[in-house]
Amino acid sequence: MPRPLVVGNGRLLINFDDRLHMRDLYYPYVGQLNHVGGHFSKLGIWASGRFSWLDEEGWKRTLGYSKESLVTDVYAQHEGLGLSLRIADGVHQRDPIYLKQIRVRNLTSEHREVRVFFNHDLSINETEVGDTAVFDPMLNAVYHYKRNVYIMVNGRTPEGGIDQYSVGIKRFNYAEGTWRDAEDGILSGNPIAQGSVDSTISFRLMLGPQEEKSLEYWLCIGDSYDAVKSLNQYVLESDPQRLLNRVGVYWQRWVNKEERDFADLSPEVVELYKTSLLLVRTQIDQNGAILAANDSDILQFNRDHYSYMWPRDGALIACAMAKAGYTATVAPFFHFCADALNDDGYLLHKYNPDGSVGSSWHPYIVDGEMQLPIQEDETALVLHALWEQYKSGKQLEDCQALYPTLVRPAARFLLQYIEPAYQLPRPSYDLWEERRGIFTFTSATVFAGLKAAARFAQLFGDDRRYKRYDEGAERIREAMLSHLYDPEIGRFLRGIYIRQDGHVEKDFTVESSLFSIFAFGVLPVDDPRVTSTMEAVKRSLRVDTEIGGFARYQGDYYFKKSHDTARVPGNPWIICTLWVADWEIAKAKSLDELQEPKSRLSWVVRHALQSGVLSEQLDPFTGAPVSVAPLTWSHATYVATVLRYLEKVKELQ
């Protein structure tokens, strides 16, 4: 399921799996539409009469990125074929162009012909119906098209351009696809096919003993034939290798634009910090949507995916990126949210990258009673994140423009959506989207959202609203201490449920999201009520296996791997483990006390994929990634925790 290699530019996103298949190609939005859809676009090699796809046994593959860059650095070697490949992939930093260089080395002492085959299993606009694939002899290129999406493939070696081609039918009437045509090293040359189609092209290299030569290959994506023809010409005139080098330089400059002292953090921790910044960037659409994840294999489990913008995830990711110095990168997110805001001032469950409302399982009616199908923390956290954005970038004009369109209507909703008898936010769904009630996490975010709105009102001289928002936040703080802190158990509850007969049911489940009490400023980190709550989190959610880490909450069932809840309360989550580290950092009073959270950063490094990609959660016994990877929230939380650690080191020094 994981996608260990991800390249993109905010318009075009391409994912590869660990067998070097292209599995996802999203355009014109990051996360929408997927023109590969999880199928296997493959790379194959023919040499000395023998053929092998790179997903077959016999290949040793090492996957990674070139230093501080969104250009991949992949090594593959096949002893039986006597060949090694050094592969670099990147997406142009501005245009929808994917570039690939393969340096092929002949490991034998013989002169040899080597043929490299590329198969393209595309489903344009996420359906195989009505596609066309055609060989264009004027450009010596192959392109696929349907309506307003054109994908052109081309390439060259020192021996010339495309040497062989074939287009044909796939997965229909017993036709497997043109990839089968490649396995004898010779393509049939069929020039066109329509319906459910694929294409395969090959390139020829003549290699002397121990000689290495390069192959350049590229995809151009656009809304018309003329658009992709123009991009193809741009690649040829600019030289594809030079373009790929420029892509690498651009991302190196981008990820190092902020000079930062990394104190005593190890090179591996710092490397993952920079990799995380880069990977987060690939998941942000140029129009503002911050996507949760774009690993289409999750479709196997629930016929839906993570290629949505959850306002909560987006807000917390925007906080991390703003603190890291990338305010311009996430600024469009807040305008996206302002446009998406309901007339009553709240955000819905999730959104598609184009701004339309995403799928949901939250109903408007339960047991005959009307309700808002929302997670209120999603609205509140956007206001909190906007204030963090302002603190980091001091973009006064941008925030002033958002004050009447986002801040004021959202704050008005937060003030009104209150349970009168408790002065807490009315019931909504929790941050995990699993239950409806009044939760500590949600209440803490509403407190933070109203405090942010109050600060904006004060900043803009709106004294009347400042007082209203600030007093509303303080009422929620007091209500949390009265109703969500339980003195009998000496810690905060996950939440409470108000039943139809008026009875209040307490939820004593220990949950990692209780870090929100100090993280969003409800109470200081050294308050005894915070300490007792977080100690319960560490004690109750620790995963007692060799893998370690912390679970989301007691009895977590999502992708459950063990029924031994005493040892494994749930799978270890990257995010939840880092939340524990955040508390340890915040309460530290000496450099020695920072050693434990520092070790948690190293724990994350150990459980990243070889390429640096972080998953959502881990198998508690093997450490294998579970659910989607990369998860944008995991990478952003890692960035935020590293920054908190560095701030604390500076403070203690």
What pLDDT, in 10s, does the model give residues 28-39?
Answer: 999 999 999 889
**Bond from prior residue into 267 cis (ω within 30 degrees of 0):** no
pLDDT value, residue 278: 98
Amino acid at 603: W
Token output for 228 = 């992709």
Confidence band of 424 (pLDDT split at 50, 70, 90): very high
Q: Regarding beta strands 112-120 and 43-47, do their DSSP bridges make them parallel or antiparallel, or are they unpaired?
A: antiparallel
- 484 closest CA partner among 501, 510, 506: 506
Confidence band of 174 (pLDDT split at 50, 70, 90): confident
The stretch 108-133 carries a mean pLDDT of: 97
Torsion of CA 407, 409, 414, 415, to 10 degrees: 110
pLDDT value, residue 367: 84
Task: Report the chain's terminal Cα–Cα distance, integer Å.
Answer: 44
pLDDT value, residue 1: 60
Residues 45, 117: Cα–Cα separation, whole Å = 6
Distances (CA, A) of 522 to 110, 140, 366, 446, 473: 72, 64, 31, 10, 9
Q: What is the DSSP string of 448-502?
A: HHHHHHHHHHHHTT-HHHHHHHHHHHHHHHHHHHHHTEETTTTEE-SEEEE-TTS
Token output for 365 = 């009616």
The stretch 434-441 carries a mean pLDDT of: 97
The stretch 305-327 carries a mean pLDDT of: 97
Confidence band of 576 (pLDDT split at 50, 70, 90): very high
Lowest mean pLDDT among 282-291, 492-501, 616-625: 492-501
What pLDDT, in 10s, does the model give residues 61-108?
Answer: 999 999 999 999 999 999 999 999 999 999 999 999 999 999 999 999
Residues 302, 250: Cα–Cα separation, whole Å = 38
Contact assessment for residue 486 and residue 506, using Cβ atoms and an 8 Å cutoff: yes
Residues 89, 83: Cα–Cα separation, whole Å = 19
- 208 closest CA partner among 324, 139, 293, 111: 111
Residues 389, 364: Cα–Cα separation, whole Å = 33
Contact assessment for residue 551 and residue 574, using Cβ atoms and an 8 Å cutoff: no
- 26 closest CA partner among 78, 96, 82: 96
Distances (CA, A) of 561 to 299, 378, 513, 567: 19, 29, 21, 12
Q: What is the DSSP string of 578-623?
A: HHHHHHHHHH--SSGGGHHHHHHHHHHHHTS-TTS---SEE-TTT-
SS (H, E, C) 358-403: CCCCCCCEECCEECCCCCHHHHHHHHHHHHHHHHHHCCHHHHHHHH
The stretch 196-225 carries a mean pLDDT of: 98
Torsion of CA 20, 24, 30, 34, to 10 degrees: 170
High-pLDDT (> 70) share of the chain, %: 99
Mean pLDDT (the chain) is 97
pLDDT value, residue 302: 63
**Bond from prior residue into 420 cis (ω within 30 degrees of 0):** no
Domains of the chain with CATH codes: 5-255 (2.70.98.10)
Match 């209040």 to its residue by tokens: 504
The stretch 135-148 carries a mean pLDDT of: 98
10 Å CB burial of residue 643 (0-12, 13-18, 19+) is: middle
Q: Say if residue 300's pLDDT is above 80.
A: no
What pLDDT, in 10s, does the model give residues 363-395?
Answer: 999 888 899 999 999 999 999 999 999 999 988
DSSP, collapsed to helix, strand or coil, labels residue 347 as coil
Match 């158990």 to its residue by tokens: 489
